[in-house]
Structure 1
Amino acid sequence: MISKIFLNTFLLFSVLTVYSQSDTGEKNNTKLLKITSKIYMLQGKGGNIGLSFGNDGIFMIDDQYAEDIEEIQKDIKKISKEPIRFLVNTHFHGDHTGGNAALAETGTVIFSQLNVRDRLQKMLKRESTKISEVALPVVTFNDDLTFHFNGEKIYVFHVHNAHTDGDAMVYFTDSNILHTGDVFFNGKYPFIDTENGGSVKGYIAALEMATKIINEDTKIIPGHGNLGTFKDLKDTIIMLQTLYNRVATAYVNRKTEAEVLNMSDITKMYDDQGYGDGFISTEAFVKMLYSEVEKKRASIDQIEETNKAAREKYDKMMKDREEKQKD
């Protein structure tokens, strides 16, 4: 039995399979997009892969599902026969780390934020999870690290509690290309894994942090979706802020989750743009937002209740004092 998160991820992403056909007539599940002379994006059933080719070898970001890694390796060899020297996992989900074991066995060194290794290691210890020990990242970092590879500086930095608790973005500083991992779904409602450290607040903060590092000319490889722009990133921030605030307003006005789900006007402007056409439906996204608002408001409501009780106690104490003074 596959672990819950890997199974859910597989079911979610299996709908994204796109078949193309090679010159030999063989069907492919992947597509290579050339961004610059040395940076490519590889799309397939899982998360988008980033690739840097050069004299130093191949630098890779994420590796999709285990069952597709052989095809992915074949595609990569069409561009370069150099070894894949370094692999960065942007987070722990199986559609981004499934090829780890196969690549590690060829000598690829795997890097990740330390929470990614911790989560994969915990999964290894579960009897129901069949993940090879070699799939674990061998180098971890807390906040950031820098590679000097293929003639440019590659900056890898951790963004806190966004899609998960171990997300990393990768910025090719000279090529001006950013790989966001799943902290950016281009043009679709994102999957925010609140069960594994993700949060709406952290997701927005991560995207805002990215906008301070990149510029308006940056090309962006999203975790899922087509190659993006600075504007696409900003649009996602606005979408998240807008819909979160609308759901929060409804919650404060005592609307139940069911009532909010029936308020189609909340998301209409984004649904009309196709945001709900991905594997994260409008309903699933709104439910997640409502749950996040409810968690945040619970602490606020508790404070308000405590303050109310304190005021009532104080008022009673003052009233008793006044009555005693009258006597």
Structure 2
Amino acid sequence: MKIAAHFAPAMHALVALTLCVGVLAPSRSHAEVTSPVLAINDEAGKADITVVPLRGSLSVLMGSGGNIGVLSTPDGKFLVDSGIAVSKPKLKAALDGLSALPPKYLVNTHWHWDHSDGNEWLHAEGATIVAHDNVLKRLMDRTRVIEWGYTFPPLPPGGLPTVTYPKQKTIDFGGETVVLTNHGGGHSDGDTAVYFKKADVLQLGDIFWNGHYPFIDYGAGGSIDGMIRWVDISLKRSTEKTIIIPGHGPVGNRAQLAEYRDMLVAVRKKVSALKKQGKSLSEIVAEKPTAQFDAKYGDFVIDPAFFTLLVYMGV
């Protein structure tokens, strides 16, 4: 993948550093390595935005960090996630290409910057920002992600959600019923599954990385067990006809989500067994517990060693 090639050396250095000094290494040590966040931002500023039509008036915009869902209606646009702010010129052009009408709603699937950094400018365009309660809490504060070696500053007031919910919220907009649901801790503690009921399209944010190993934000309440539980629930609430939008990777379906779930379960089982044998993190990484899945899932942001570390932290 093009993005991965740009920041893979920095990511590998972060993983190696973590293996040497421990899973919860001091942020000072991580600060010595250039954070991949900077490389991702640089790439987002150069990348083109690809518009993928889905079903009815729904599309996905790809190229600005996380995937962005867009429902374009005569009442305006309903967006899911806002990408990285440096993409604004190209993202705005892509949105205007769908419709001249302004954004009316913007839902953040979670707090991470590649899904929320564009909040402020989209709010200025007219969008009411909606998110889980915990997303507001995290976007209001400085938040360090140790595994990324980066401290995210608070978003400006204009980028903060003004409508929040604890468990579930339904929004009727443009002839569509949009159901927002939080199933507890998963990728983080503020994830939202967005289901477009009439279109039968489910957007899962970073619960689902289609064809890639996922990041798990333990510092923000995520866990490997929570990720698996979320995927199990999503499988039960979808059918073979449901279109599933991942946080990263191509638009998917229920079969691909099930395959992803099997990968999560298998890697967790292997890492847990090795950890119970008393093996250290470096020894477990050396045994390559992800090997059977690396060809499919290991070529993007989270490489096999990093994903092994993330699973290790949760078992």
When the two structures are superposed, what TM-score results if normalisation uses the length of structure 1?
A: 0.80
> Structure 1 residues 165 and 272 mapped into 2: Cα distance closer, same or farther (>3 Å)?
same
After superposition, the C-alpha distances for 1:244-278 in whole angstroms (9 at most, x for unaligned) are 011111111222212111112x22210132x1111
Taking the aligned partners of 1:102 and 1:244, their CA distance within structure 2 comes to 40
Give the residue type in structure 2 aligned to 1:68. Answer: S
Taking the aligned partners of 1:225 and 1:165, their CA distance within structure 2 comes to 22
The range that moved more, 47-56 or 255-264, is: 255-264
Name the structure 1 match of 2:141. Answer: 122
Whether 1:271 and 2:313 are equivalent positions in the alignment is no
Q: CA deviation at 1:18?
A: 9.8
Give the residue type in structure 2 aligned to 1:282. Answer: P
Name the structure 2 match of 1:75. Answer: 94
Give the residue type in structure 2 aligned to 1:10. Answer: V
Equivalent residue runs for 1:64-103 within 5 Å: 64-103=83-122
Contact 2:133-2:166 within 8 A present in 1 as well: yes
Give the residue type in structure 2 aligned to 1:90. Answer: T
Equivalent residue runs for 1:126-275 within 5 Å: 129=153, 131-264=155-288, 266-273=289-296, 275=297
Whether 1:58 and 2:77 are equivalent positions in the alignment is yes
Question: Larger Rg: 1 or 2?
Answer: 1
Task: With a CA cutoff of 8 Å and minimum separation of 6, indicate the structure with the bigger relative contact order.
Answer: 2
After superposition, the C-alpha distances for 1:20-72 in whole angstroms (9 at most, x for unaligned) are xxxxxxxx521100112300000013000000011221100001111112321
Contact 1:13-1:45 within 8 A present in 2 as well: no
> Residue 45 of structure 1: which of 64, 77, 84 is its match?
64
CA RMSD of aligned residues (A): 2.1
> 3-state DSSP class of the match of 1:170?
strand
> 3-state DSSP class of the match of 1:204?
helix
Unmatched tracts of structure 1, length 5 or more: 20-27, 294-327
Structure 1: 4+ residue segments shifted above 3 A: 11-19
> 3-state DSSP class of the match of 2:302?
coil
Give the residue type in structure 2 aligned to 1:165. Answer: D
Equivalent residue runs for 1:316-327 within 5 Å: none
Equivalent residue runs for 1:4-43 within 5 Å: 10-11=37-38, 13-14=40-41, 29-43=48-62
Taking the aligned partners of 2:155 and 2:175, their CA distance within structure 1 comes to 35
> Structure 1 residues 79 and 194 mapped into 2: Cα distance closer, same or farther (>3 Å)?
same
Taking the aligned partners of 1:186 and 1:159, their CA distance within structure 2 comes to 20
> 3-state DSSP class of the match of 2:71?
strand
> 3-state DSSP class of the match of 1:164?
coil
Contact 2:244-2:254 within 8 A present in 1 as well: yes
> Structure 1 residues 128 and 148 mapped into 2: Cα distance closer, same or farther (>3 Å)?
closer
> 3-state DSSP class of the match of 1:161?
coil
Name the structure 2 match of 1:284. Answer: 306
Name the structure 2 match of 1:318. Answer: none
> Structure 1 residues 277 and 190 mapped into 2: Cα distance closer, same or farther (>3 Å)?
same
When the two structures are superposed, what TM-score results if normalisation uses the length of structure 2?
A: 0.83
Give the residue type in structure 2 aligned to 1:269. Answer: Q
After superposition, the C-alpha distances for 1:152-171 in whole angstroms (9 at most, x for unaligned) are 21111113111110000101
> Structure 1 residues 145 and 86 mapped into 2: Cα distance closer, same or farther (>3 Å)?
same
> 3-state DSSP class of the match of 2:77?
strand
Give the residue type in structure 1 aligned to 2:300. Answer: G
> 3-state DSSP class of the match of 2:298?
helix
Taking the aligned partners of 1:49 and 1:157, their CA distance within structure 2 comes to 18
Taking the aligned partners of 1:152 and 1:254, their CA distance within structure 2 comes to 53
Aligned residues: 276
After superposition, the C-alpha distances for 1:142-200 in whole angstroms (9 at most, x for unaligned) are 00111111212111111311111000010111111111111100011000011111101
> Structure 1 residues 77 and 218 mapped into 2: Cα distance closer, same or farther (>3 Å)?
same
Contact 1:9-1:94 within 8 A present in 2 as well: no
Taking the aligned partners of 1:243 and 1:68, their CA distance within structure 2 comes to 35
Unmatched tracts of structure 2, length 5 or more: 1-30, 144-150
> Structure 1 residues 181 and 16 mapped into 2: Cα distance closer, same or farther (>3 Å)?
farther
> Structure 1 residues 82 and 9 mapped into 2: Cα distance closer, same or farther (>3 Å)?
farther
